[in-house]
């Protein structure tokens, strides 16, 4: 049988059509400029216009994160999937994309600290934390741990993308980030989240407004 599927094969056209569908279906009136673009990319990554009301950014988030990236801030990711979802060639200042989870010291550190490897891996972020863009897309324990470090006086990142996913601690960790309130932040409320959302937010912030 000869191949006969009719579908759009032009990547740029697929993006344009996708974004047009999203903007026609989703209520994005709460967002403008770079923040609106972040919301569009999150919807694009999930296939869900219905996630729009669950996206919450502090008013200063998009500018703070964008400016940090332009200054060359590193992007600190809690999971390899987040790091590998960031489009390197789109980054404005050849920014470092860092995930410390696979560092050989992490399993022992987690044991000593009595916590998950995802949370323990943040100890290795300390020298890079000041002014960084944090992207947590997997582990609620990583977001809780980050808040503990900040409350204990660790250097402040420029912005926090806090979108861990799941049934145990995810919603609570994101509420705690909003309550902390001293770093510009993006969350998706409730259980939804994930590495694709975290990476999509970084990619939107790294691009010119489309």
Our answer to whether residue 5 is catalytic in this structure is no
Q: Is 195 in the site for a copy of itself (CB under 8 A)?
A: yes
Q: Is 191 in the site for a copy of itself (CB under 8 A)?
A: yes
Distance between CA atoms of residues 147 and 173, nearest Å: 9
**Interface residues for a copy of itself in 45-74 (CB under 8 A)?**
45-48
Q: Write down the least CB distance from residue 181 to a copy of itself, Å.
A: 13
**Are the beta carbons of 176 and 17 closer than 8 angstroms?**
no
Q: Is 18 in the site for a copy of itself (CB under 8 A)?
A: yes
Distance between CA atoms of residues 200 and 145, nearest Å: 23
* Range 190-207 burial, b when 16+ CB lie within 10 A, else e: eebbbbbbbbbbbbbbbb
Q: Write down the least CB distance from residue 99 to a copy of itself, Å.
A: 9
Sheet holding 159-162, edge to edge: 55-57, 185-188, 159-162, 133-136, 75-77, 97-98
Q: Is 112 in the site for a copy of itself (CB under 8 A)?
A: no
- Of the candidates 85, 83, 84, 117, the residue with the CA atom closest to the CA atom of residue 101: 117
**Interface residues for a copy of itself in 146-185 (CB under 8 A)?**
147-149, 151-152, 165-170, 172-173, 176
Which residues sit at the interface with a copy of itself, rule CB under 8 A?
A: 1-5, 7-11, 14, 17-18, 21-22, 44-48, 80-81, 83-85, 114-117, 119, 140-141, 144, 147-149, 151-152, 165-170, 172-173, 176, 190-196, 199
């Amino acid at each position: 049988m000869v191949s006969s599927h009719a579908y759009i094969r032009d990547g740029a056209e697929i993006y344009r059509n996708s974004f047009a569908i999203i903007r026609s279906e989703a209520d994005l009136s709460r967002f403008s400029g770079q923040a609106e673009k972040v919301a569009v990319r999150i919807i694009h990554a999930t296939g869900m216009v219905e996630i729009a009301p669950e996206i919450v950014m502090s008013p200063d988030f998009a500018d703070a994160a964008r400016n940090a990236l332009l200054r060359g801030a590193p992007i600190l990711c809690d999971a390899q999937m987040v790091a590998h979802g960031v489009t390197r060639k789109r980054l404005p200042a050849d920014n470092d994309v860092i995930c410390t989870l696979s560092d050989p010291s992490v399993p022992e550190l987690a044991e000593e600290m009595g916590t998950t490897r995802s949370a323990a891996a943040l100890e290795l972020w300390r020298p890079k934390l000041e002014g960084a863009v944090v992207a947590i897309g997997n582990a609620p324990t990583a977001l809780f741990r980050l808040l503990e470090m900040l409350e204990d006086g660790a250097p402040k990142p420029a912005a926090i993308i806090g979108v861990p996913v799941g049934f145990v601690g995810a919603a609570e960790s994101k509420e705690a980030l909003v309550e902390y309130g001293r770093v510009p932040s993006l969350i998706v409320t409730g259980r939804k989240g994930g590495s694709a959302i975290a990476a999509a937010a970084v990619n939107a912030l790294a691009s010119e407004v489309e």
